[in-house]
Amino acid sequence: MLSNPARVKIIWLQGITCNGNTHSFLNDPALGNFLESAEFIHHPLLPCKNTLKELVKKLPKSDILIFEGAYSASFERAGMAMETLLPALASKTSHIISLGSCASFGGIFKEGNPEQISGIVFDKEEEKGPLRAMREKVITLSGCPAHPKWLSFVIDMIVSGKRIALDEYRRPKELYGYLVHNGCLRNEYFEWKVDSHHFGTKEGCLYYAQGCQGPFTHGSCNKILWNEVSSKTRSGTPCVGCTEPTFPKSNLFSTKTYMSIPSEMPLGIPKRSYLALAGAAKSFHIKRLEERLIDDNA
Amino acid sequence: MITHELIERIEGEAVLDFKTDKSGVVQDANIRFSHFRGMEAILEGRNALDALVITPRVCGICGHSHLIATVKMIENVYRNAGVSIRISDKANAIRQITLSCELIQNHIKWLYLVMLHESAKMLGEEPGVALKALYVSSQVNQLCALFSGQWPHSSYALPGGVTCDPTHIEVMQALKILSDVECFIRDEVLGCDVDAFAQAMEHNRVLSLTGDFGTVLRNFERLGVLEQGKSHSRFLVLGDTQEIIVHSQHSGAIAENVSEDSSQTFAEGGNTYAKNALYNGEFFETGPLARALVQERTGISALHRLYGDSALTRITARVDEMVSLCAEVRELLMSLDLSQPSFITPPSIESISGEGIGIVEAPRGSLIHRATIEKGKIVSYTIITPTQWNLGNGTSMIPGIAQKAMIGAASTAKASLLFRTFDVCSVCTTH
């Protein structure tokens, strides 16, 4: 539990970023409630106590340090290199949130300079980021971007002194224990191996041909919906696996197959068992699943 | 005297190097962006469709515009390769709806988080968090997500259409949100209905409007900068149909006349990562003011005649665009024919080679994506962002758009505020 739970002090620092996590968080409809119990010492867009210049000059203490964007030692904010700024602020805080896939694993921007760019604890799957020695303070919220509610949840858990169960990448199990596949409206098609055939329909599973990574990507996108209403798979877009250290993979809109079976299996399913199951499921021809859900859309 | 000012609370950060005379009046302003990510190089060698996932990550606030520019670019490659690709009216309309949503939410955030906040702060009034504006912008993003699945960073548009297959329920939800947004604009932003706002623009009464927009203008007036910030009064709109229209100096212009100038960048011995974007070798302003003048929207044209391309006209153009985009989204939602296909499968991208260009009007202006594709793989990719047009760094003889607007300001602080009227985004400018 924090010393003054009524007013948790947060620093939001940006590394190499597109500001996507900042704008994602601004979508949280509970932002007003959140700001009643939190105070930003620094934030890139919201009104805050310290400007970036002052932040770099004072290097203040905080309760939570949120880091958005990828890490590179020489990248500067207000003239101070990240290799100086980030450890200084990190050593003066009790909790660190690595927000988004860039901060968590290097993300897309690592592709531009793989040697120099990493996450703050992890570099892809490997634990060799600059804050690895402080790993116990770090909670990973991967995602491109991270869902605003995931961040609110973690801050709320920290403020109320509750223990957060974490996975191997220090992601909260309550958020990443699920797969994106979980809660997908197309699950029945997945079970009976009915392909969507093409984009732009409500029907069919996107895993078999359209590149969907939902069956092996950790994330609660289909439980805690985006913008309260939808998700990539609900709008017919294949999951791009953005919460995983492997993001971004390539050929994102097609599924690599072997003998017309996806080469990457749903998480935890042995290939042999899957093949047996798929063979059996495919032998069923369920008329209902081969028809349109709504015949006359007009 | 030379001073350096770090500009924060924009998208990212920028440094302005000001040259001032003894009384503090700005003689020259140099614009520097020091953060670079190399997005174009990241795309090379990838499957062209992967660009639909990568390019939205150029910018957290206008990523959707990048998505639409990318998809139009790829469709253009198909056509240039002589391969037919069809997009239904429904898919086109849905893309336009979601794109307009991105513009509306951007303009609301800019008006409240940047314009209202910074102008009040300069007057010594500490403004609070604009929660009502953030709430309504989150609603606009929700409207977008009904079709795109999420905002930010959706990849729901693909060559051939869109991935979603909406029903009347989504349309009904969208119209409900739109009504709430229109109420917010009427009651909070304008303080009057849209007809009265149109009248106020035409009869030079915008300063007396009671909403938050009026407050921003009055703050600017109290600071003595309302009629400042004039630039070259040259405007450019490239998006929408790929028909290129240039106001005031040229007409019937073509994409080949667009060029990038990297003479000010680090690579050429300069001190910024941002390249300049030029049309016929000259700086042109793009964005809401350019769009309003090119479309000859009555209110903004009237203000432009009286006040030129000053802060007053530029700010009002962004607010006016919120109003007109809401009307456009309503029209599109009402006329959406859901029986049409969302997606018409084109031939495989792996069979396609050639060049293409995709242009859209993004929140800050004309956004251009160009690429060369070889058997579905990206050989080269070039992005020209709206902020490159407006925030380009010229010389004191030939200043860029925002540079010219800052010259003559009574102080560096006032020049910085005028700089922000261009809706500055450093992540886009450098990409």
pLDDT at B252: 46
Neighbour tally for B83: CB within 10 Å: 14
Sort out which chain A residues have CB atoms less than 8 A from B109's CB and list them.
26, 45
Say if residue B364's pLDDT is above 70.
Answer: yes
A chain contacts of residue B48, beta-carbon cutoff 8 Å:
none
Pair of tokens at residue B204: 């030079």
Q: Which residues of B touch A49 (CB under 8 A)?
A: none
| B64 Cα to chain A: minimum distance (Å) | 11
- Asked whether the beta carbons of A234 and B149 are under 8 A apart, the reply is yes
Using an 8 Å CB-CB cutoff, list chain B residues near A51: 6, 8
Residues of A in Cβ contact (< 8 Å) with B154: 232, 235, 237
Q: How confident is the model at residue B13 (pLDDT cuts 50, 70, 90)?
A: confident
Of A184-188, B225-229, B253-257, the least confident: B253-257
Work out the percent of chain B whose per-residue pLDDT is above 90.
81
Look at A282-286, B66-70, B138-142, B223-227 and tell me which has the smallest mean pLDDT: A282-286
Do A112 and B34 lie within an 8 Å CB cutoff? Answer: no
Query: A47 vs B117: CB contact, 8 Å cut-off?
Result: yes
pLDDT band at B426 (very low <50, low <70, confident <90, very high): confident
Residue B107's pLDDT is 98
C-beta neighbour count of A168 within 10 angstroms = 9
User: Could you tell me which residues come within 8 angstroms of residue A43 by beta carbon, excluding any fewer than 6 positions away?
Assistant: A10, A12
Q: Which residues contact A289 (CB under 8 A, 6 or more apart)?
A: A188, A189, A192, A194, A203
Using CA atoms, how far apart are residues A199 and A196, in angstroms rounded to an integer? 7
Determine the Cα–Cα distance for residues A125 and A106; give it in Å rounded to an integer: 10
CB within 8 Å of chain B, chain A residues 276-295: 294
pTM for this entry: 0.96
pLDDT exceeds 70 at position B205: yes
Gap between the Cα atoms of A145 and B59, Å rounded = 11
Task: Look at residue B251 in the predicted model and tell me its pLDDT.
Answer: 41
Spatial distance between the Cα atoms of B363 and A238, rounded to a whole number of angstroms: 27
What ipTM is given for this predicted complex? 0.96
Angle of CA points B341, B344, B345, to nearest 5° = 145
Q: Which residue of chain A is at minimal alpha-carbon distance from B426? A: A18
Tell me which residues of chain A, numbers 236 to 275, contact chain B at a CB-CB cutoff of 8 Å.
Answer: 236-237, 240, 242, 248, 250-254
pLDDT of B243: 41
Is A219 touching B (CB cutoff 8 A)?
no
pLDDT digits (tens, 9 = 90+) for A62-100: 999 999 999 999 999 999 999 999 999 999 999 999 999
How does strand A8-14 pair with strand A62-68?
A: parallel
Please check whether residue A296 touches B, CB under 8 A.
yes
Inter-chain contact A227–B141, Cβ cutoff 8 Å? yes
Candidate from A45, A51, A254 with C-beta closest to B113: A45
- Distance, in Å, from the CA atom of B56 to the CA atom of A107, rounded to the nearest integer, reads 14
Residue B172 has pLDDT above 60, yes or no: yes
Question: What pLDDT, on a 0 to 100 scale, did the predictor assign at position B44?
Answer: 97
Least confident of A18-22, A228-232, B240-244, B371-375: B240-244
pLDDT over 70 (residue B244):
no
Could you list the beta-strand ranges (E) of chain A: 8-14, 38-42, 62-68, 76-77, 80-81, 93-99, 138-141, 257-258, 261-262
Q: Which residues of chain A have pLDDT under 70?
A: 1-6, 296-298
Using CA atoms, how far apart are residues B431 and B426, in angstroms rounded to an integer? 8
Please report which residue ranges of A46-178 form alpha helices under DSSP H: 52-58, 82-91, 100-105, 107-110, 148-159, 173-176
